[in-house]
Amino acid sequence: MADGSRKTGASTGPNPEQMIETTAQGQTGAQGPDTQDWEGPGFEDMPAAGEAFVVDIEGFEGPLDLLLALARTQKVDLAKISILALVEQYLGFIAEAQQLKLEIAADYLVMAAWLAFLKSRLLLPKDKEDPDTTSAEELAQRLSFRLMRLNAMREQAATLLTRHRLERDVFARGQPERIQVTRDTTYTATIYDLLKAYAEQRKRTIKVIHVVKARRVWSIKEARQRLEKLVGATAGDWAQLDMFLDQYLPRNEEERTALASSFGATLEMAREGLIELRQDEPFAPIYMRKREAGAEWEKIG
């Protein structure tokens, strides 16, 4: 729309019920009644690419960008504008944009839906509200906050554009000089530390040969020969097995093998009927005696 214009009705104040009527007319807008037979938007009727949302609220009339610019210079307080009037004008702008070109209005549909919801909340009577829901006043305050935040972002964007850019405002040196680094080594270790480190390294590399010494093992035959000599010297009374073992058991690494072999020899002699064994309870001392010649014995095996 090359020569399009917007007609804005007079606003008598911040009354939100007075909705600003905005219309768009093309170059053929004054051709007469034949314009009512228009069936669809043509190329001439589409809005220009730079057409923006025009705000007319509380004595201000102009684009939304201008409203933010005035707020930046502290000429307009965004916290005191009429949110309901702003919603009315925005929805009217969306309705007009949809009639002319849907592609333009598609970018504003999400915001328009939220503003329509805010408008309905502002117009409804104030009954007892649910404490879990957000009131219309809080939604209006959030919209004002979003406008102020948009203004802050635009200010920061403008600040970034004023900074110097590499290869445009400032230039790096073409052939930078290389910095030569000179290192001076200072040793803090002593001769003792050197010898200690060498000894530890040498210790890890020396091959260690492990030699396993052969153990002497007592056989059952050897233990039986010793027991037969000791049992033959008794008078046939009960005696603890430990008393016999104490007389010949060695007190070194051979003690375990001698004890095991002697216990095995004792069981073998009891099976053959040469001696008698008795134990009063588990883990109690074992008593043994030589079997008399006329005693009854049931040979096992």
Report d(CA 22, CA 9) in Å as an integer: 8
* pLDDT per position as a tens digit, 80-103: 666 667 667 767 777 776 666 655
CB 47 within 8 A of CB 5: no
Q: From 93, 91, 103, select the one nearest 46 (Cα to Cα).
A: 103
**Quick one: angle between helices 136-161 and 109-123, nearest 10?**
140
Find, among 51, 135, 59, the residue nearest to 93 by Cα: 51
Provide φ and ψ at 166, rounded to 5°: -65, 140
Tokens of 266: 């004792």
As a whole number, the mean pLDDT across the chain is: 68
- Residue 187 in this model has a pLDDT that exceeds 60: yes
Q: What percent of the chain has pLDDT over 70?
A: 52
Segment 101-120, tens digit of pLDDT: 655 555 555 555 666 666 66
Delimit the CATH 1.10.10.580 region(s) of the chain.
220-290
CATH number given to 220-290: 1.10.10.580
pLDDT at 171: 85
Model confidence band, residue 43 (pLDDT cutoffs 50, 70, 90): very low
d(CA 295, CA 74): 128
- Specify the pLDDT at position 209: 83
Query: Could you read off the pLDDT of 191-239 as tens digits, one per residue?
Result: 999 999 999 998 888 887 888 888 778 888 888 888 888 777 666 678 8
